[in-house]
Chains A and B, each alone.
Chain A
Amino acid sequence: MHLPRVSSFGWKGPLLLLLSGRLLSAAESAQMIVIVADSRKFHGLRAWWANLYNDSHFYFTLVTIIFIPLAGVILGSLADLAMSRLGINLRSRSLREG
């Protein structure tokens, strides 16, 4: 049986070695757990949310990072409004350490 000489691979030799290293190191990620949301239990918005999670983590991330600041601003403004009813000065404070 004729075996190819290593030198005949030329520059491809180290590349193959690198690739094999990559492929071997990728073995662990193949065993990663895939979590799926059971959207059958939900209706309306929550069902849409669970489906979005199952369909694309990219869009799921996009909606999450848009929604969190938005919710923060809305809830913060509402709490601010309630706080302004207390009858205290919410515009200034004295800066003192001791």
Chain B
Amino acid sequence: MDWLYVLLPIVGIKVFWPGLVILGLGVGIIGGFFGMGGAWMVTPGLNILGFPMAFAIGTDIAHMSGKSLISTMRHAKFGNVDYKLGSIMVLGTVCGIECGSRVVMWLERLGSVALYVRYGYMVLLTVIAWVVFTDVRQKQKKENEARAAGRTLDALSTGIEWHKKLQRINIPPVIYFPKSGVRCSMWLPVGIAIFTGLLAGFLGIGGGLICMPALIYLVGCPTHVAVGTDLFGVMISGLYGAATYSYKGRVDLVAVIIMLLGAAVGAQIGTVATKYVKGYAIRVYFGLAVVGCGISVLLKLIGAAYPSVKPVTDVSATVLILGLVSSLSLFILLNFLKGVAEERRARKEDLAHV
């Protein structure tokens, strides 16, 4: 069974390569579907496969940029990428990430960085999950009210409508983003990008987890466009991260390529699956992924506070993340297969009628 293992030239370890392909496939599916890099899922996975932590982070970020490129290509063909909005946001995100990482350096000198980062992460995930589920509840309420009144809601109507208030702030220049159907001050996406970048830099994550809900709830993008535009941003910030980590010598390109083999297929499946799922269903699954991620961070916090239970909580957190990746990717794969089968059947019926 030696052929199942490959010796990686930079990390210097023998790794089970099908594990890398499966990891790439799973995260490709989830990333393409939710519009995020998935650093919080891949890093522990690589660590389990034997990568030292710094190499796990570096290799993960490098793979993330390649995978996001594949998803962005596919989303662009569906018309889900707002390049104008994405480009403006990338500038703000990079500035924010740089400032956030400086805050981390300052906290590191104080010796309390890990704790602050984990608490910050916990607060952020709780807020995101609360916003997502509140929005879903409000949308359901609106639908019920409309049904009772005998009306039908607009296809793009949402539950939470903070973006409408924010779009009324007319500080020049006011820009129209035709792909998203949003007209707002340029400073709204820039400000949001700086803020999300700051949080991403502080928490050491790619930013997709924060940027996707920010695009929906604060800028007012439709869910599908938020997913595609966010992936465009992740692709560029990921490439920047890959350059930084490569220069520090913590990226193994052979592992990246092996992971990309799985991610190329996964990203296509995840992206095409968004075609068959309504925007609010994507929001609900995203909220569930955030809750799972939050529980895993909570387990890590408990382990840090009570060293006696640390081995148990660490293993539980890893099992939870891997379980979440497997179940979510399986669920999206099933949606994809069902959607493809239905579309093909409909096409055949159309042809039969002609």
- Within the complex, which residue of A75, A77, A98 is in contact with B278, where a contact is CB–CB below 8 Å? A98
Total number of A-B contacts with CB less than 8 angstroms?
148
Q: Is the interface of A mostly helix, strand, loop or mixed?
A: helix
- Within the complex, which residue of B12, B139, B155, B249 is in contact with A38, where a contact is CB–CB below 8 Å? B12
Contact call B264/A46, Cβ cutoff below 8 A: no
A88: chain B residues at CB < 8 Å are 272, 340, 343-344, 347
B224: chain A residues at CB < 8 Å are 93, 95
CB of B300 within 8 A of chain A? Answer: no
Q: How far is the CA of A92 from the CA of B343 in the complex (A)?
A: 13
Contact with A along B101-113 (1 / 0, CB 8 A): 0000000000000
B10: chain A residues at CB < 8 Å are 37, 49-50, 53
- What is the number of residues of chain B that contact chain A, defined by CB distance less than 8 Å? 56
Contact call A75/B344, Cβ cutoff below 8 A: no
CB of A18 within 8 A of chain B? Answer: no
Contact call B274/A93, Cβ cutoff below 8 A: yes
Interface residues of A (CB under 8 A from B): 35, 37-39, 41-42, 46-47, 49-50, 53, 57-58, 60-61, 63-65, 67-69, 71-73, 75-80, 82-83, 86-93, 95-98
Interface residues of B (CB under 8 A from A): 7, 9-10, 12, 62, 65-67, 69-70, 73-74, 77-80, 139, 143, 153, 155-158, 222-225, 239, 242-243, 246-249, 251, 253-254, 256-257, 260-261, 263-265, 267-268, 272, 274-275, 278-280, 340, 343-344, 347
- When A and B form their complex, which 9 residue pairs have the shortest distance between CB atoms, in order from nearest? A76-B70, A75-B264, A72-B69, A97-B279, A72-B66, A61-B246, A50-B9, A64-B246, A79-B264
